[in-house]
Structure 1
Amino acid sequence: MVRRHAVIGYGRLARALVPALRAAGEQVVVGRRAPAEGESSPEAAAQAADWVWLTVPDDHIAATAAALRWRAGQLALHCSGATPLAALAPAPAAAGFHPLKLLAGDAGLAGAHVGIEAGTAHRPALQALARALGLVPLHLPSPMPAQARAAYHAAANLAASGVLAVLAEAGALWSAAGLEGDQLLAALLPLARGALDTAAARGLPGAVSGPIARGDAGVLARHLDALAGAGLDVDLLCALGLRQLALAQAAGRLDVAQVTALRALLAASS
């Protein structure tokens, strides 16, 4: 079945979604307040569609849904992991379709998981569409409780931008070592990618490495001293260290004495 889609708003996500829908054989009209050639106004695009995608910023989803004239049988969708489906309440039916992928440059959607929040009437069609787009469907509760939604979105954000915060801390230590800043990412990104690739192959416990995984309290103590010497707080290293310690324990890498010594060192420093 070929559906008619309206994509309201044309930001980074829409620029990946629209060509993916068209490549899957779906009919798509883009709706914008200043439509380009071949596009429509949001109102006209929505009126002609079966499924209406609101790919506007999160804070504008509810207002955009309220401003449209809906008709029976239409499905409203947003692609926000943080916004409840209640924002789409003016529509006859609502669903969430949240790709777990950073869309930088010309990156497409294919290969990512997509969180699908939908009732039983629309979930099978959304799962089928996800597969047609090259995505892996991830079933979310519908409706998703507020606390669960916040935890889900925080997990996604931590896995994405949270990694950048860790690299920024590494960059501060890199500078404290007197190394050239323009070499930072070229030198350290292969380490980060290697850890992620190993985690994909072996799981998180199987990928943990470094002094904590080896039970080397002496090296860890020198790392903590380096932070202090650079005028940096040790809170991030200690928090990450405790979580690495849990992974190393899960992998069976450490004995009781090593775990006790490492935990005491991290606790005393935090």
Structure 2
Amino acid sequence: MQRRHAVIGLGRLAQALVPALRSAGDEVVIGRRTPADGEFTPTGAAARADWVWLTVPDDHIAATAAALTWRAGQLALHCSGATPLAALAPAPAAAGFHPLKLLAGDTGLAGAHVGIEADAAHRPELQALALRLGMQPLALPSPMPASARAAYHAAANLAASGVLAVLAEAGSLWSAAGLAGDDALPALLPLTRGALDTAQGRGLAGAVSGPIARGDAGVLARHLDALTAAGLDDDLLRALGRRQLRLAEAAGRLDVAQVTALRALLAPL
């Protein structure tokens, strides 16, 4: 079923959502506090739509929902992974549609999973919309408990920006080796991409590599010494190493003596 949509706010997410909805054949109007030609105020846009998307910053979702005039049959949606649907309480019905996609560079939504939180009346249509947009629907609990939402959003953030923190640490070690800092990211990113590609095909345990996966305690000890020599904290390497060790154990690649030696090296100080 095609719907008339109002998209309130025009940030990165909306700039991907609006053309995707239009390409799927749906009618879309845009609402902003200062509307451009062909746009409307938030209230004017909402009045013209069946589904109203609040693609404003998380801290503004509740206030925006409270400021709109709702009518029976309308559905309010946000695209936040962190904000509970209670923020949309003024609307007759509410749902979440959270794309698991970084939009800093590539603005397309096709191919991404999308977390859908909705009641039984709206879930099937939202899942159908996701498929029409070329996305993979992912059913979230509805209502989603606060603890579950926090864990879900933390998982998504760790898988995205968390990788950047690891690369930043790798860059510090690269510089400590006396190598040109500008070369670090171009040289290291292919390793990151290779690990992710391998994990997609073999799973996490099947993709783990390096001294921990080989049970090479001597090399790991030298890595820890290198951090100390560079004046860097070793807490991140130890924490990541303990988790890599679990993966290596799950893959059945280490014997008891290797696991014991590695655990001793990786123990928190």
TM over 0.5: yes
- Give the residue type in structure 1 aligned to 2:30: V
Number of the residue aligned with 1:174: 174
Question: What secondary structure sits across from 2:174 in the alignment?
Answer: helix
Q: Distance in 1 between matches of 2:113 and 2:251?
A: 27
Other structure's SS at 2:52 match:
strand
Structure 1 counterpart of 2:161, one-letter code? S
> Could you list the per-position Cα deviations for residues 219-265 of structure 1 after superposition, in whole angstroms to 9, with x for gaps in the alignment?
00000000001101110000000000000000111011100110011
Structure 1 match to 2:57: 57
In the TM superposition, what are the counterparts of 1:82-121 in structure 2 within 5 Å?
A: 82-121=82-121
Residue of structure 2 equivalent to 1:233:
233
2:226 is the counterpart of 1:205: no
Aligned residues: 269
5 Å-filtered alignment, 1:117-196, equals 117-196=117-196
Task: State how far apart, in whole Å, the 2-side matches of 1:54 and 1:78 are.
Answer: 5
In the TM superposition, residue 40 of structure 1 has moved relative to its aligned partner by 0.8
AA of the residue aligned to 2:149: R
Q: Equivalents in 1 of 2:36, 2:251: separation in Å?
A: 56
1:84-122 CA-partner distances (Å, limit 9, x unpaired): 000000000000000000002342001110000000000
2:14–2:55: 8 Å Cα contact kept in structure 1?
A: yes
Report the Cα offset of residue 207 of structure 1.
0.4
In the alignment, the residues of structure 1 paired with residue 42 and residue 16 of structure 2 have an alpha-carbon distance, to the nearest angstrom, of 19
Q: 1:29-53 CA deviation, whole Å, 9 max, x = no partner?
A: 0101111111111100001100000
- The one-letter amino acid of 1:226's match is A
- The one-letter amino acid paired with 1:142 is S
Q: Does 1:5 align with 2:14?
A: no
Q: What secondary structure is seen at the aligned counterpart in 2 of 1:114?
A: strand
In structure 1, stretches of 5+ residues that fail to align are none
- Superposition map of 1:71-82 within 5 A: 71-82=71-82
Q: TM-score, normalised by structure 2?
A: 0.99
RMSD of equivalent CA atoms: 0.7
Greater shift, 36-45 or 75-84, is seen at: 36-45
Conservation of the 8 A alpha-carbon contact between 2:15 and 2:107: no
Equivalent position of 2:40 in the other structure:
40
Q: What is the DSSP-based 3-state SS (H/G/I as helix, E as strand, rest coil) of the residue aligned with 1:137?
A: strand
Classify the secondary structure of the residue corresponding to 1:73: coil
Equivalent AA in structure 2 for residue 244 of structure 1: Q
Cα-to-partner distance string for 1:113-158 (whole Å, 9 max, x where unaligned) = 0000000000000000000001000000001000000000000000
Distance 1:259 1:134, change over 3 A: same
- Misfit runs of 4+, over 6 Å: none
Secondary structure at the aligned position of 2:70 is classed as: coil
2:218 aligned with 1:221 = no
